Amino acid sequence: MDYLYAPWRSEYVTSKKIEGCVFCHIVNHPDKDEELFVLYRDEFCFMVMNRYPYNPGHFMIIPNIHTDAIEKLDEEVWLRISSLTRKSVKMMKEGFGAKGVNIGMNLGQCAGAGIAEHVHMHIVPRWDRDTNFITTIANTRVYSTEFTEVYKKIKAMLPKFIGA
């Protein structure tokens, strides 16, 4: 039998679980932005690293208001999410070196949302050949870059691209 060791996952297994909506927890704890890997926040929404990323640099843009329906968001909130999405794509391409970017929302559990009760926009940087066989045959994701270093790099780029 082969083993793939991932010691960084021990925190997930042993850490205290957040009660209720994890995104509302982040909204209500701006004092824990570094601990929660928040990249940016304003009066309408925030940007946070995805703790279980598809690729290095995968983060989300999330409204501060708890809703599972984008059609219930105020127009101003939706426009801010859209604006940050456009700026984030530019940042991923020009600042992070991504060759492409996936953006999207999974609305509802049946659509694939892991946290269906609070809408969120995914920003996933992509590169040629960024997937490999192990994902297909072993249901295992290989993350090529240390998570906190990616967080620091993206956070440092925000003033130039987002204006934060």
> pLDDT digits over 112-156, tens only?
888 899 999 999 999 887 765 555 555 666 666 788 888 899 999
* Domains of the chain, earliest start first: 18-159 (3.30.428.10)
Average pLDDT, the chain: 86
**pLDDT in the model for residue 54:** 82
**pLDDT in the model for residue 34:** 95
Q: Residue-wise over 104-143: b if at least 16 C-beta within 10 A, else e? A: ebebeeeeebeeeebbbbbbbbbeeeeeeeeeeeeeeeee
Q: Which of 25, 58, 66, 120 is catalytic?
A: 120
The rounded percent of the chain whose pLDDT value lies above 90 is 59
Strands across the sheet with 100-104, in order?
38-41, 45-49, 59-63, 121-126, 100-104
Arithmetic mean of pLDDT, 60-72: 97
**pLDDT in the model for residue 125:** 93
120 is catalytic: yes
Q: Is the pLDDT confidence value at 11 over 90?
A: no
Q: Is the pLDDT confidence value at 10 over 60?
A: no
The answer to whether 115 and 25 have CB atoms below 8 angstroms apart is no
The answer to whether 163 and 96 have CB atoms below 8 angstroms apart is no
